[in-house]
Structure 1
Amino acid sequence: MAGKILIANDGPDKQSRRLAASFRRRGWQVATAPLSAIAFDTGRRHGLAIPGLDDELPDGVIVRSISAGSFEAITRRLGVLHALGRLDVPVWNSAQAIERCVDKSMTTFLLADAGLPTPATFTVEKMAAAREVAERELASGMLVSKPLFGAQGRGIRLIRSVADLPGDDEVADVHYLQRYVERAGPPFHDYRVFVCAGKVLAGMTRRGEDWITNIGRGAAPERFCEASSAELGELALAAAAAVGADFAGVDIVRSVEGGLHVLEVNSMPAWSGLQSVTPVDIADEIAAAMTAFLRARRPLRVVASSSP
């Protein structure tokens, strides 16, 4: 009987459909469900009720997205991933890796702790503490304010003076302030490197007139072909390892001095922009990597001996 893969996603996006097709070509049965639809149910054999799996556990889980919700809802959904891990179901990415990447302050802490180049970062609560950081650090250059939980470049602003700091209500009382990395531009550019299971799958340059070079903000993806691609790949692999991610989209920027800096590690990365400029079938590579992992770890059946 074929094994079962669960793709945890909030909607039937193109990337999830390609993932499902890639797994099916390899003989897997595939179920898809949002984490919000998976229930804790201690009356069931495994303590979880997963739509489409008939009280069975999947052999592996790919987490594509976790929708926004209350603190309680997000905690419960991550709890489902923790429970799957407890039940020895491989989850890519694990609850712990997702928690580390969603919380930018922990991402930066882990990158710095691993000795990787990342901009100096300060995360504090309340305006008074943020003002103190800004007054001290702005003497050495501009800062960037980012939402602690956020994506696609939303809510990011350049801090040139204390007056530029967002209000507590705009950042839920938590101020994440990062040293701005001076880079050439306009046009500005940075890099997104996609890694999976210890391998660099693809990369792109994102180029735009705005210093925030997200595709969703108008930056254009370009095929990755710079001479230092090996250096970028090594840095991206080390960044993914630092947060414990099985696959990730790693954002890297080059300063005007030439040094590379890891800005973020995305544990639930989209790859439509990247797929448009690379010949690599990213969904197929993820499916191939998880298939190889699951086949390598699947235990042999042991027939118990009847002798004492």
Structure 2
Amino acid sequence: MTGILDSVNQRTQLVGQNRLELLTFRLTGGSQRYGINVFKVKEVLQCPRLTLIPNSHRLIRGIAHVRGYTISVIDLNLAVGGKATTNTNRCFTIITEFNRTIQAFLVGSVERIINMRWEEILSPPDGAGKGNYLTAVTNIDNELVEILDVEKILAEIAPISNKMNPLIVEEINQVRKDIVRRVLIADDSAVARKQVELAISSIGFEVLTVKNGKEAYEKLLEMSRKGNIYDQIALVISDIEMPGMDGYTLTAEIRSNSDLKDLYVILHSSLSGVFNQAMVERVGANLFIAKFNPNELGNAVKTALMK
């Protein structure tokens, strides 16, 4: 298991090709198979010694000291509605870095890494309900694999404010009043979509939301058939990881379409890594910002309006 991420640098070559690699795992006492994007994973370890913290959130099993970091360990089984994990000695922790934080998820077992195309990753079925923790599903070896909306879990543990600094709001209101105040947001996480929507709405913009890059591109094509796209929308704010079509591929498709090629595109992602800026330049996105800071998002919108 210690060498499972040794070739992570080679995996950056997948980015921009609408591909990803999933690390699959199962929770304690359960048969359901889950997956997480390898780019979110820093390390996989046998569960280290945990220290209990009084008055901590009920989903936090304890904290662990790993390579100089003090990391909260989240009981993923409990987070998705199962029973609390009792015997952690036989469990693993998946240490992740995204949304500007490092955290670990307690799981029962870790299996393998699977190379896939984003077209094979599907949005969860409509019948899953609003309270579910799924952001996507796929099929591997004739078995359903669920991809959890980890951003939703983290938001429940540590809610993030979507309020923007009033000074930034005022500055945005003074910039290019002739530009249409409408933004297209693409994100597969319901929590992330709502965070961005509330922040953008607070500065007086109309918001259009879609669940993935494919829906975003189809929406833009539909709008362009009705007239000049630049009279209908100011910019696109897109996640990177999305079923069907990722944000890098969406950006590349926009740049290759003569009716859309000059749209301002902000990639807004929980993914961390040094490859992000290089990929932004490679596919032609205007800007990359990490989730989620409403003031940084506001400044990014201001920059877009000043172009």
Same topology, TM > 0.5: no
* Structure showing greater Rg: 1
Say which structure is richer in strand.
2
Per the normalisation by structure 2, the TM-score is: 0.32
